[in-house]
Chain A
Amino acid sequence: MMSEKKTVRFIITRQDRPDSPPYEEEFEIPYRPNMNIISALMEIRRNPVNAKGEKTTPVVWEMNCLEEVCGACSMVINGKPRQSCTALIDHLEQPIRLEPMSTFPVVRDLQVDRSRMFDSLKKVKAWIPIDGTYDLGPGPRMPERKRQWAYELSKCMTCGVCLEACPNVNSKSNFIGPAPLSQVRLFNAHPTGAMHKAERLEAIMGDGGLANCGNSQNCVQSCPKGIPLTTSIAALNREVTIQAFRNFFGSDEI
C-alpha cells in the first residue's frame, strides 16, 4: 500500500469541433497535495495520455484569473456548474466528471462560447454613460450604505453558472437569464446610471426578458458569488410593474 502511488481519476466529456459529437475520455493522473481542477488539467496537458495509456490530444479549457473573479473557467464538475480554479481535488468525489456547460455552444472540449451573456449585457445597457463632448463634471454622490449594497451586485463575473442552473434558459426559450437582469438592478441603483433607468427596464420588458423567470430559484442557490439574484428579479418585477403603469397611463417621470 505504501509504495502504491495515489492517483486522481477523471471522466471528461470531450468534443473535437463545435459541430462534432461529444464523447467521454478517462484520465488517471498522479496526485499532488492541494491540487485543483486547473492544475489537474495542466497535468493532462503536460502529458496527454488517457487512462488506457493511449496518447491523445490535450483537453482544452478556458482560464484566466485563477482566483474566482473572472468566470472564464466555469464548467460542470460532478454535475454542478462552478469554477474549476476553486474546485479542489481533495473535496471532490472520484472519478471526477468534467463536462462543458450545456447552456452554451461548445467551442472545444470544456471551452464554451459565452457570447450570449455579453450580448445580453449590451441589450440591457449594463453600463453608465458618462462620455460627452465636454466635461460633465462630477456626478451625484452615492451614499456609502448604498455603495456597499451595490458592491454585492457588482461581484457578477458573467460566469454563466446561473444560466446553466436555470430550467427556463434552454434552446426552446430566448430567456436572457438571471445575470444580466441583476445587472439592470445594479446600474439602475447608481445615481448617474438611474438617469437611464427606464431604458433598461424597457429592455428587460422585451422578448426573452424578465417575465420569462419561472422562480425555480436555482440561480441564487448556484451563484458562486452569492449574489441575491432572486431578490434582484423580484425587485425588478416591482420596478417593471410601475414602469408598465407609467407607460400605459402616463407619467411625467420619463
Chain B
Amino acid sequence: MAGNREFFYRRLHSLLGVIPVGLFLVQHLVVNHFATRGPEAFNRAAHFMENLPFRYFLEIFVIFLPLLFHAIYGLYIAFTAKNNVSRYNYFRNWMFMLQRLSGIITLIFVTWHVWETRVQAAFGAEVNYEMMANIVDNPIMLGFYILGVISTVFHFSNGLWSFFVSWGITVTPRSQQISTYVTMAIFVALSIVGIRAILAFA
C-alpha cells in the first residue's frame, strides 16, 4: 500500500480538481454573473447561497478541504517539473508549463480572494455587491482580479483536458485533439462569464 500512495494521491488530485472544485468554480462564476443584472440581483443570489442549509458542512467538504489538498499537492507537482519549453517548443509542452504557472497564480489569487471576502465575512463584514465594487474600484485590484479569473478558468479548462487523459477517457491522438478544442472553448466561454461579472462591479 505504501508504494501505491503516490498513485492514489495523483488520482485524487486529478479528481478533486474537477469534482468538486471545478464544479464549484463554475457555480461561483454563474452566481457572480447575476451582477450583470444589477446590484439587487447579485445580492439576492449571494444571499441565497449564504443561506443554503448545511452551509459550513458544504463549505468545508465541497470547497476548502478539496481545494487545500489540490493546492498543496499541486504545488509539489509544479515544483518537481523541470520546464523545457525553450528546447521543446511544442503546443502540449507549453500547456504543461502554463498549467503549472496558472496553478501558482490561481493559488495566490484564490488565497487573496478568500482573505478579502470569506475571512472578512467571518469577522463580520457583509459579502455583497458593494464589497466587490469597493475592491475593484482600485484599478490595480481590477487588473489582478481579471488576471486571477483568467488564470483560474484556464487552469480548470486545461485541467479538464488532462483529467480526461489521466483517467483513460481520451486515449487516441484524435480524441485528445478534439478534447483540446472543447476544453479551450470552455476556457473562452467561462472567461467571458467571469470577466463580464467583474466588469459589472467596476
Let me know if A241 and B168 touch, CB within 8 A: yes
Q: By the criterion CB–CB under 8 Å, are B90 and A234 in contact?
A: no
Give complex CA distance A236, B165 in Å. Answer: 10
Is residue B84 contacting chain A, with contact meaning CB distance below 8 A?
A: yes
A interface bracket (residues with beta carbon within 8 Å of B) = 35 or more
Verify if B7 is at the interface (C-beta below 8 Å from A).
Answer: yes
Q: Are A218 and B90 in contact (CB under 8 A)?
A: yes
Chain A residues within an 8 Å CB radius of B6: 206-209, 211-212
Chain A: minimal CB distance from B177 (Å): 11
- Chain B interface size, as a band, is 20 to 34
Residues of B within 8 A of A216 (CB): 88, 90, 92-93, 95-97
Neighbour of A238 across the interface among B10, B81, B171, CB < 8 A: B171
Do B166 and A206 touch (CB < 8 A)?
no
Taking a contact as CB atoms under 8 Å apart, the answer to whether A79 and B4 are in contact is: no
Contact residue among A165, A170, A234 (Cβ-Cβ distance under 8 Å from B170): A234
Q: Is B172 an interface residue, CB under 8 A from the partner?
A: yes
Q: CA A206 – CA B9 in complex, angstroms?
A: 11
Contact (Cβ within 8 A) B90 A217: yes
Give complex CA distance A218, B97 in Å: 12
Q: Are B171 and A170 in contact (CB under 8 A)?
A: no
* Residues 72-91 of B at the A interface (beta carbon under 8 Å): 77, 79-84, 87-88, 90
Q: Which residues of B contact A207 (CB under 8 A)?
A: 3, 6
**B81/A80 in contact, CB under 8 A:** no
Of B80, B81, B90, B165, which contacts A221 at CB under 8 A?
B90
Q: Supply 15 further A-B pairs (C-beta < 8 A) apart from A170-B80, A211-B6, A222-B88.
A: A170-B82, A206-B4, A210-B7, A215-B92, A216-B88, A216-B93, A216-B95, A218-B88, A221-B88, A230-B173, A231-B173, A234-B165, A234-B176, A239-B168, A240-B168
